[in-house]
Amino acid sequence: MNSLFPKTLIPSTSLSSSTRLTLTPNSLRHFKLHLPRLMSSDSSHRLFQLKLDPLTGNSEWVVIEDNDDLPDCSKEPLLATTSYLDMLNDSFRNKAFRSGIERTVTKPRHVLDIGAGTGLLSMMAARAMGLNGTVTACESYLPMAKLMRKVLHRNSMGKAISLINKRSDELEVGVDIPSRADVLVSEILDSELLGEGLIPTLQHAHDKLLVENPLTVPFRAVTYGQLVESTYLWKLHDLSGIEAKVSDGIHLVPTGSDSIIHVKSRQYPMHCDAIREEIKPLSEPFKIFEFDFWKRPESNGETKVQVQVIDDGNIHAVVSWWVLQLDREGTVFYSTAPRWINSPANIGYRDWCDHWKQCVWFFRGKGMSVSQGEEVLLEATHTETSVSYNLNVQVPKTDTRQHDHNIRDFQLLLSPERIAIYGDSKWRSSVLAAVRNALQGRVNPLCVVVDDSIFLTLLAANLSKTSHVLSLFPGLREKGAQYLENVVKANSFSMDRVEVREKRKPCLTLHDTHGKKVDMLIGEPYYYANEGMLPWQNLRFWKDRTLLDPILSEDALIMPCKGILKACAMSLPDLWSSRCCLGDVEGFAHSIVNTTLGACGELPAPKEGPFLPFSIWQCGEIKELSEIFTILEFDFSKPISSCHGTAQVKFIEGGTCHGFVLWVDWIMDTDNSIVISTGPEHRYWKQGVKLLSKPVAVGINGCNSNSEYGSTIVEALFEPSSSELILKHAFL
């Protein structure tokens, strides 16, 4: 079989060695967020952006200058991991803002657009005024401001709109803008509504930039909620309750220390429609907060809502969403409500999109037991950037775990998905079996846990009373050590057999291991705070194993032993629609942004859309079209090296193929009998998605017509020196 790669390889589709942080558009562009990884110099025309090498964990700052061209994005589109593209493909959003602006800006005025992005709202306002008014667009994120200039030029709007590359709190009337603005158009909203600085933005704008009683688009936002029961949501936060049902002798959450591991108290964005069958509503929807854009908001607010229970059950969470009223008259709306909510006809349902989801707030413990007809009191509080909830029952209840005050001084905050993995009995039994088998016959072994797995550390120390465990904890660091000290007694070992490396070094030496070579090098692999990355970026484990090669014993056991890169051709119409190339957006040309935003579709050769991490089960309509097939194998018994693989697979279902979904199966033992899969059927991991430039019609067992393909060849190359995974494909 001939290779799909040319002799001189051009990595047109790759995972860049410098993976940029994933941010929503407004968190990139808005002034109030104190972003730790984006810094501006004293000049507003220079920006420093953090770049991370996923295989080493090392990072570096790069400078983006204010010149005519955007930084080279031939390997990875600069803004591919933001939500700009998804947002611009949301036709419901675009039409709602257009209608709101056209109903509000009916004569020449001074319009201010904060967080202007590509300039879509600014151009809508300029058009609504017949290009006779004044539009000031404020865009603080330099790469976006540079892209906006190109969009304005393409649409002959450069003279009609004044673009200022500053934060909105840096604008001065008489210096940056000629006068206070009559109209504010802005879309600085996240799934929670407040997380991108809506309140401080409005406060400063009303104080310094807007006339009294200005016109605004949107006019108002209202948040709503619903009390629900859901075992799935419960498993995402109550490790203590889940672990009580597991009898493997490992106690991540010892009795009496329920809060030593838990999720951060915040709202979590989630596509709740994907778990509709696993959600039991326990109340009707209720109103929580109302925010008027046309007046100055308060920084903090509280409300109490008397909620009547409509069914027996346990209240595990609040599902929340918001509704925008775009115009003063109340004729134009946009809602993020889940589809099971009966929205009024004038609001309707939007298409699937990823930039705005519902939010979930977890109530601590196993939930509050309630009965139909009972009333509970929901207390909601908002700060400048977040909303929180507290639940109180109106009559005494025997279950008060949600009010547990037995909280230790130390708490380890983990993601909901990580807590669910640690509580999964099948996952735990598989890992336990792998470690137990690895320890058999070993006397006084030195075991190095190379990643951030507290579970593996406890296992290795618990299962062998003679082992010495050295945990590197590259992400957890001292938090990992403090956690172990708190759970050591409950897990029947002493800290004199467990050591956590305090300082990060380029590599361990025999000095660090007290002259003893490593008998076991293990990992899940799991790297703290990296759950949002592409699955093969956990090949950092292989890189770490290679760096430790000089201190491994001759018969050292490596776990996992192998990684298998798996793939499946899939129909992903909703995801593809949200990531496809832009043409005209409400009458304004946007094709110029496609490459920079990482679009799929009609891109100029040889450019293609990038790999992106998604939880496939949350991506709307999905369908597997091929068998699951292996592309590459990574052999961890040897030092890291380039890998190349080819697979030909037939389609088992007819339909439209939108791309390939990839993940890694981790082989935990040398017998290949214990496998930890991170594929789409396992909901706690993200997969990597490579969308096609153009959807392809496929058939079963050969072509059913001249327009259908019966199989595909997929070829992949992993190059560790550049951290790139390159994928090529051909349909047959």
- Alpha-carbon span 578 to 614, nearest angstrom: 13
Q: Are 454 and 535 in the same domain?
A: yes
pLDDT at 242: 87
Q: Taking the CA atoms of 508, 530, 560 and 3 in sequence, report the sign of the dihedral they define.
A: negative
Among the candidates 187, 204, 236, a domain finishes at 187
Q: Say if 48 falls within a structural domain.
A: no
Residue 117 has pLDDT above 60, yes or no: yes
Q: Say if 52 falls within a structural domain.
A: no
Q: Are 608 and 541 in the same domain?
A: no
- Alpha-carbon span 182 to 111, nearest angstrom: 6
Among the candidates 543, 559, 575, a domain finishes at 559
Confidence label for 614 from pLDDT (cuts 50, 70 and 90): very high
Considering the entire predicted model, what is its pTM? 0.90
Confidence label for 66 from pLDDT (cuts 50, 70 and 90): low
Q: Are 154 and 265 in the same domain?
A: no
pLDDT at 605: 66
Q: Are 571 and 523 in the same domain?
A: no
Give one DSSP letter per residue of 650-712, joined into a string.
EBSS-EEEEEEEEEEEEE-STTS--EEE-STTSTTS-EEEEEEEEEEEE-SSS-SSTT-B-EE
pLDDT at 70: 53
- Alpha-carbon span 684 to 661, nearest angstrom: 16
pLDDT at 226: 98
Residue 607 has pLDDT above 80, yes or no: no
Q: Say if 199 falls within a structural domain.
A: no
Q: Which of 61-70, 444-453, 620-629 has the lowest mean pLDDT?
A: 61-70
Q: Say if 670 falls within a structural domain.
A: yes
Per-residue model confidence as pLDDT tens digits over 252-276: 999 989 889 999 999 999 999 999 9
Active site residues: 187, 196
Q: Are 156 and 281 in the same domain?
A: no
pLDDT at 433: 96
Q: Are 452 and 386 in the same domain?
A: no
- Taking the CA atoms of the chain, what radius of gyration do you get in angstroms? 27
Per-residue model confidence as pLDDT tens digits over 29-51: 333 333 333 444 444 455 556 66
Q: Are 707 and 591 in the same domain?
A: yes
Nearest Cα residue to 358 out of 318, 326, 385, 387: 318
pLDDT at 7: 38
pLDDT at 608: 76
Confidence label for 321 from pLDDT (cuts 50, 70 and 90): very high
The full length of the chain comes to: 732
Residue 407 has pLDDT above 60, yes or no: no
- Alpha-carbon span 124 to 199, nearest angstrom: 24
Confidence label for 53 from pLDDT (cuts 50, 70 and 90): confident
Structure tokens at 672: 């290949």
Q: Say if 14 falls within a structural domain.
A: no
Q: Are 551 and 578 in the same domain?
A: no
- Give the count of domains, the chain: 4
Stretch 93-107: mean pLDDT: 97
Stretch 545-559: mean pLDDT: 96
pLDDT at 41: 43
Residue 350 has pLDDT above 50, yes or no: yes
Sorted by sequence, the CB contacts under 8 Å of residue 58 that are 6+ apart come out as: 52
Helix H or strand E encompassing 190: none
pLDDT at 60: 65
Burial class (CB in 10 A: 0-12, 13-18, 19+), 12: middle
- Alpha-carbon span 338 to 332, nearest angstrom: 19
Q: Which of 255-259, 305-309, 311-315 has the lowest mean pLDDT?
A: 255-259
Burial class (CB in 10 A: 0-12, 13-18, 19+), 80: buried
Q: Say if 307 falls within a structural domain.
A: yes
Q: Are 690 and 611 in the same domain?
A: yes
What is the number of H-type helices and E-type strands within the chain? 15, 40
Residue 73 has pLDDT above 50, yes or no: no
Stretch 427-433: mean pLDDT: 96
Q: Are 619 and 718 in the same domain?
A: yes
Per-residue model confidence as pLDDT tens digits over 556-580: 999 999 999 999 999 999 999 999 9
Confidence label for 393 from pLDDT (cuts 50, 70 and 90): low
- Alpha-carbon span 531 to 480, nearest angstrom: 17
Q: Are 357 and 437 in the same domain?
A: no
Residue 408 has pLDDT above 60, yes or no: no
Per-residue model confidence as pLDDT tens digits over 173-230: 999 999 999 999 999 999 999 999 999 999 999 999 999 999 999 999 999 999 999 9
Q: Say if 313 falls within a structural domain.
A: yes
Q: Are 111 and 173 in the same domain?
A: yes
pLDDT at 702: 54
Residue 55 has pLDDT above 80, yes or no: no
- Alpha-carbon span 162 to 184, nearest angstrom: 15
User: Domain of 719: which CATH number?
Assistant: 2.70.160.11
Domain that holds residue 125: 83-187
Q: Tell me the pairing of strands 19-20 and 498-500.
A: unpaired
pLDDT at 16: 32
pLDDT at 708: 85
Nearest Cα residue to 447 out of 484, 497, 510: 497
Residue 329 has pLDDT above 60, yes or no: yes
What is the percent of the chain where pLDDT is above 70? 86
pLDDT at 63: 63
Confidence label for 347 from pLDDT (cuts 50, 70 and 90): confident
Confidence label for 397 from pLDDT (cuts 50, 70 and 90): very low
- On average, the pLDDT of the chain sits at 88
Confidence label for 602 from pLDDT (cuts 50, 70 and 90): confident
Per-residue model confidence as pLDDT tens digits over 369-388: 999 999 999 999 999 999 99
pLDDT at 507: 83
User: Domain of 104: which CATH number?
Assistant: 3.40.50.150
Q: Say if 65 falls within a structural domain.
A: no
Among the candidates 374, 395, 416, a domain finishes at 395
Query: Any bridge partners for residue 361, and if so which?
Result: 318
